Amino acid sequence: MTELASVLAAFYNATQCEAGVWMRLGALDAAPTLEAGTANAPTPSRYPVPAEGAQIVASSDGDVLIAAVPGPRHAWVALGPCLRTDVQLQDFMNFLLPVVTQYLQSALEVEHAANELAERYEEINLLYTISEILGRTVSLDEAAKTILKEVSETVGARRASVLVHDRATNTLQAVAALGVDLASVQPISVDDPCSVSARVFRTQHPMLAEGNEHYCPEESSYRRGAMLSIPIMWTAPPPHGAEPLGVVNLSDRRSGHMFSAGDQKLIAAIATQIGTAIQNTRLVRASVDQQRLAHEMQLAHDLQMKLLPNNTIVAPDAIVAARVVPAESVGGDFYNLFRLGGAKTGVMIGDVSGHGYQAALIMALTMSAAAIHSQTNLDPGDMLHSLFTTLRDELTTTEMFISAFYAVIDPVAQELRYSNTGHPHAFLLSEEHGLERLAASDPPLGMDESRPLTTHRPWRPGKDLLVLFTDGVSDARNRDGERLGEERILNVLREHRHSTPDEILGRAFEVLESHTEGAPRRDDLTIVLVRT
Amino acid sequence: MSFSIKKDGEVVVVDVEGQLIVGNRQELKQKVLDELERGERKFLIDFSQTGYIDSSGLGVLVSLSKKIREQGGELRLANLNDDLKTLFELTKLDTLFQIADTRERALQSF
């Protein structure tokens, strides 16, 4: 009030009259204090109400003229005593009172503006703080807790909670709470008819429940008196639109005042920030899960490749050339080789329906079970049936099946015995008959309960070639989507029948690669060639 | 890729447009099982607009065939193109299904 003091000092210089502006702050019966005054401004003995107009009252230094200042403030202008005696104090009052009134009015407006500014500053500061919190953390619980603390301090709420929608249970669950133990907040069904939070979530509109209005016992932990409840929205790009993710509740206000439209606006802005945080957390989690899944797929793929046999384990009884080229994801192709004693060799090729982790597990199970059953079942049909019996439960529950071909080559007896359950591409390449298809006699394992048939063919050691490949080879597509076809592979075999299995395999893959020219594979490619 | 379902007399006829593969097989399965639950017992899957069936697609056909049979119903397949016919023959799946050349013949066979 230094400006007011200057005005009064100038007044004294002009009039040689003392003058003071008195104000009562606080309680109505408190003694007013001197807000600004001349050097010897005396204390009046009485402060008249505005309706009385200017009054002469006594003071420590004699009579003074005092008048109340109109307006919301309890303020008075007191004039006198003066050095000169011929002055008209009322004239001076008529001049000075409007000046002081105007000054106090302006000061009040400035004060309001400053308060308003301070509030806005706090809100902006809060939004900055929240942005910073969200930028720093990917933990939703931690972010929600910190945000809640900041918001509650700004609006002066002693109880607050953030409830997030759990899709699996269709309930609202507390992820952060203030003024209440988080564990004590029970999940609330979205359909709950009484809960304010559930209603706000359903309607996607904010709600101010006053006093005990809409009181719900389930909400007693985070509500005391009036509660402001705001939906947490997340707006997805079109055509999805806005989606409610949860609710923010504030209650038990320190000042005892109602929540204002300004509070509602502020909390809605913050709820949007929390919504973004929830969505970010979900996306991060999904991305981490995706990475973990990709890693598991890689492990499954490595495992699958490691399970495939070393082709030399059946040497010198049999010469084997084989290659599995897996698709982008884990596929279900496999082959296996068994030494069966007496120079006999077991050869198996198979394809587990489907791709992915589950197919890889079934394949691993098949590989190990086949190793056991091949040693105890010399008849190929028996071996495949035993294999099916072992895998039946797995195949039934997963609705998968296995197309499999299993042959036992006996070079001493010069016989090839085989059983084929749904494997489409198995051939015997011989001098006498050229290429002969070793057709399936039964559908794939898992589709049918019957015992697969065993068939036999003559086998000429050193000459005949057992040719097995999977449908990934004949179905291999080029960039125009054209299939390679079985015949192209069979032609390579015919042409190079006198070469070693390794050389024939190399030729077959040359044809395959020149057809696909690096087009993405959608299935595993497996070729197995055996000569004894 | 989509499935359209319509009723022809007592028979539920499903058209498979495009491919029947790992990515859409569950949709086909669910649609047929929903009809089965509603009390339908005669089903015909028409492949005249189908280019390709992968091994998972075949698995779903077998699984549907089993489930329909368990409820005392019947499933027929019709209009397999040459590639699909070869696939069914080579894998011996033709022994598990009743397959007709045309939709009309399949409908008459019920």
Position A469 scores a pLDDT of 96
Cα–Cα distance measured from residue A105 to residue A111, given in angstroms and rounded to the nearest whole number: 10
List CB contacts (< 8 A) between A354 and chain B: 22, 55-56, 59
Instruction: Give domain status of residue A301, yes or no.
Output: no
Would you say A257 and A228 are in contact if contact means Cβ atoms under 8 Å apart? no
Cα–Cα distance measured from residue A356 to residue A492, given in angstroms and rounded to the nearest whole number: 32
Domain boundary at A250, A285, A320, which?
A285
Instruction: Give domain status of residue A131, yes or no.
Output: no
Output phi, psi for B22, to 5 deg: -55, -30
Q: Can you tell me the mean pLDDT for A505-525?
A: 89
Split into its structural domains, chain A has a count of 3
| pLDDT, tens digit (0-9, with 9 covering 90-100), for A206-252 | 998 887 788 888 888 888 888 999 999 888 777 777 888 999 999 98
Domain boundary at A252, A285, A318, which?
A285
Which is higher by pLDDT, A399 or A227? A227
Q: Does residue A523 belong to the interface with chain B, where contact is any CB pair within 8 Å?
A: yes
Nearest to A469 by CA among A365, A330, A337, A324: A324
User: B residues 43-82 near A, CB within 8 Å?
Assistant: 54-56, 58-60, 62-63
Position A331 scores a pLDDT of 66
Q: B90–A447: do the CB atoms touch at under 8 Å?
A: no
- Laid out side by side, the sheet with A455-458 consists of A333-341, A344-352, A402-410, A415-421, A455-458
Evaluate the omega torsion of the peptide bond into residue A309 and state whether it is cis, within 30 degrees of 0: no
Instruction: Give domain status of residue A117, yes or no.
Output: no
Same domain flag for A409 and A260: no
List CB contacts (< 8 A) between A444 and chain B: 91-93
Q: Which residue of A has its CA nearest to B21?
A: A354
Cα–Cα distance measured from residue A396 to residue A448, given in angstroms and rounded to the nearest whole number: 11
Position A361 scores a pLDDT of 81
Q: Which residue of A has its CA nearest to B65?
A: A447
CA distance A331 to chain B (A): 11
Which is higher by pLDDT, A127 or A156? A156
Q: Can you tell me the mean pLDDT for A356-376?
A: 87
pLDDT higher than 90, residue B102? yes
Would you say A442 and B92 are in contact if contact means Cβ atoms under 8 Å apart? yes
Same domain flag for A323 and A274: no
Q: B55–A403: do the CB atoms touch at under 8 Å?
A: yes
Same domain flag for A387 and A502: yes
Say if strands A402-410 and A415-421 run parallel, antiparallel, or are unpaired. Answer: antiparallel
Same domain flag for A451 and A341: yes
H or E segment to which residue A123 belongs: helix A89-136
Among B53, B61, B90, which would you mutate to test the A interface (most chain A Cβ atoms within 10 Å of its Cβ)?
B90
Position A398 scores a pLDDT of 81
| pLDDT, tens digit (0-9, with 9 covering 90-100), for A121-143 | 777 777 777 777 766 655 677 77
Nearest to A282 by CA among A239, A250, A231, A246: A246
Same domain flag for A312 and A351: yes
As a whole number of Å, the CA-based R_g of chain B is: 13
| pLDDT, tens digit (0-9, with 9 covering 90-100), for B62-80 | 889 989 999 999 999 999 9
CA distance B7 to chain A (A): 28
Nearest to B34 by CA among B71, B87, B82: B71
Q: Which domains does chain B show, CATH number per domain? A: 2-108 (3.30.750.24)
Q: A400–B95: do the CB atoms touch at under 8 Å?
A: no
pLDDT higher than 60, residue A41? yes
Among B19, B30, B55, which would you mutate to test the A interface (most chain A Cβ atoms within 10 Å of its Cβ)?
B55
Same domain flag for A94 and A235: no
Residue with tokens 């609705």: A399
Of B22, B54, B59, the CB nearest to A401: B59
Position B15 scores a pLDDT of 94
Upper half-sphere CA count for residue B4 (Cβ side, 13 Å): 8
Q: Which residue of A has its CA nearest to B25?
A: A354
What is the dihedral angle through the alpha carbons of A130, A135, A138, A140, rounded to the nearest 10 degrees?
10
Q: Is A21 exposed, middle or buried (0-12, 13-18, 19+ CB in 10 A)?
A: buried
Per-residue pLDDT band for A495 (boundaries 50, 70, 90) equals: very high
List CB contacts (< 8 A) between A334 and chain B: none
**What is A226-253 written as a DSSP string?**
SEEEEEEEEEETTTTEEEEEEEEEEEEE
Instruction: Give domain status of residue A292, yes or no.
Output: no
Same domain flag for A215 and A335: no
Position A330 scores a pLDDT of 57
Cα–Cα distance measured from residue A324 to residue B28, given in angstroms and rounded to the nearest whole number: 31
Of B22, B60, B92, the CB nearest to A443: B92
Q: Does residue B93 belong to the interface with chain A, where contact is any CB pair within 8 Å?
A: yes
Of A332, A354, A403, the CB nearest to B91: A403
Q: B59–A403: do the CB atoms touch at under 8 Å?
A: no
Q: Does residue A440 belong to the interface with chain B, where contact is any CB pair within 8 Å?
A: yes
Per-residue pLDDT band for A1 (boundaries 50, 70, 90) equals: low
Same domain flag for A278 and A322: no
Q: A399–B92: do the CB atoms touch at under 8 Å?
A: no
Cα–Cα distance measured from residue A213 to residue A228, given in angstroms and rounded to the nearest whole number: 12
Position B76 scores a pLDDT of 95
List CB contacts (< 8 A) between B91 and chain A: 403, 422-424, 440, 443-444
Position A322 scores a pLDDT of 95
Q: B90–A440: do the CB atoms touch at under 8 Å?
A: yes
Residues in chain A: 532
Average pLDDT, rounded, for chain B: 90
Q: Which range in A1-10, A502-511, B16-25 is most confidently predicted, on average pLDDT? A: A502-511
Q: Does residue A403 belong to the interface with chain B, where contact is any CB pair within 8 Å?
A: yes
Q: Does residue B22 belong to the interface with chain A, where contact is any CB pair within 8 Å?
A: yes
Per-residue pLDDT band for A184 (boundaries 50, 70, 90) equals: confident
Instruction: Give domain status of residue A509, yes or no.
Output: yes
Same domain flag for A203 and A336: no
For residue A215, the domain's CATH number is 3.30.450.40
| pLDDT, tens digit (0-9, with 9 covering 90-100), for A295-342 | 877 777 777 788 899 999 999 999 999 999 887 665 688 999 999 999
Average pLDDT, rounded, for chain A: 88
Where b means 16+ CB within 10 Å and e means fewer, A358-379 reads: bbbbbbbbbbebbbebbeebbe
Nearest to A473 by CA among A525, A529, A405, A403: A525
Q: A424–B90: do the CB atoms touch at under 8 Å?
A: yes
Instruction: Give domain status of residue A71, yes or no.
Output: yes
CA distance A482 to chain B (A): 12
Same domain flag for A341 and A239: no
Q: Which domain holds residue A62?
A: 2-112
For residue A406, the domain's CATH number is 3.60.40.10
CA distance A199 to chain B (A): 34
**pTM higher than the cut 0.90:** no
User: A residues 354-373 near B, CB within 8 Å?
Assistant: 354-355
Position A68 scores a pLDDT of 93
Instruction: Give domain status of residue A460, yes or no.
Output: yes
| pLDDT, tens digit (0-9, with 9 covering 90-100), for A66-78 | 999 998 889 999 9
Is B104 strand, coil or helix?
Answer: helix
Which is higher by pLDDT, A129 or B101? B101
Same domain flag for A254 and A351: no
Q: B96–A442: do the CB atoms touch at under 8 Å?
A: no
Q: Does residue A423 belong to the interface with chain B, where contact is any CB pair within 8 Å?
A: yes
Same domain flag for A196 and A316: no
**Range with lowest mean pLDDT among A57-71, A347-361, A426-440:** A347-361
Q: Does residue B107 belong to the interface with chain A, where contact is any CB pair within 8 Å?
A: no
Position A275 scores a pLDDT of 84
pLDDT higher than 90, residue A509? yes
Q: How many beta carbons lie within 10 A of that of residue A100, not counting itself?
A: 22
Contacting residues for A176 by C-beta, under 8 A, at least 6 apart: A141, A144, A145, A147, A148, A161, A162, A182
CA distance B92 to chain A (A): 5
Q: A440–B56: do the CB atoms touch at under 8 Å?
A: no
Cα–Cα distance measured from residue B99 to residue B110, given in angstroms and rounded to the nearest whole number: 12
| pLDDT, tens digit (0-9, with 9 covering 90-100), for A477-491 | 888 888 898 999 999
pLDDT higher than 90, residue B20? no
Among A447, A483, A524, which would you mutate to test the B interface (most chain B Cβ atoms within 10 Å of its Cβ)?
A447
Chain A with chain B: Cβ pairs closer than 8 A: 55
Instruction: Give domain status of residue A371, yes or no.
Output: yes
